């Protein structure tokens, strides 16, 4: 965790069951993200699942997405993403910042 007092901000978008958001998955393995560039459609809420396949925890962090959350070893976290404008939204694993980097490519 960094020293910001803020804990976890996830912008949730309300959606009803009938219009469930598409789910996209990122995995963490050997302290790298797969894929390192994940494509998402613009202007649509989405569900993002981050699966940590490593035997150590990772902190999934993205300043533009306002996400900061520890994903324990061999487990996963789910985030509801708001509808995003086209662009590139960087994320990284704060515990292995040298290798764990990626971007959401929204288009
Ligand atoms: Cu942090």
Dist. CA 1 → ligand 1 center (Å) = 4
pLDDT tens, position by position, 19-50: 578 999 999 999 999 999 999 999 999 999 99
Assigned token pair, 2:
């960094």
Dist. CA 48 → ligand 1 center (Å) = 18
Average pLDDT value for residue range 71-93: 97
Q: What is the dihedral of CA 91, 93, 97, 101, to 10 degrees?
A: -40
Dist. CA 93 → ligand 1 center (Å) = 8
pLDDT tens, position by position, 6-26: 544 544 445 444 457 899 999
At residue 4, the pLDDT reads 55
Q: How far is the C-alpha of 89 from the C-alpha of 29, rounded, in Å?
A: 20
Q: What is the arrangement of strands in the sheet containing 87-93, beginning at the earlier edge strand?
A: 37-40, 101-106, 87-93, 58-62, 67-71
């Amino acid at each position: 965790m960094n020293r910001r007092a803020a804990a976890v901000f996830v912008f949730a978008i309300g959606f009803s069951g009938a219009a469930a958001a598409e789910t996209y998955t990122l995995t963490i393995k050997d302290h790298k993200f797969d894929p390192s560039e994940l494509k998402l459609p613009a202007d649509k809420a989405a569900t993002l699942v981050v699966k940590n396949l490593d035997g150590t925890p990772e902190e999934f962090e993205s300043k533009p997405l306002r996400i900061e959350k520890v994903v324990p070893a061999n487990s996963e976290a789910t985030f509801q993403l708001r509808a995003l404008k086209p662009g590139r939204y960087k994320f990284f694993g704060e515990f292995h910042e040298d290798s764990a980097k990626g971007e959401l490519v929204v288009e």
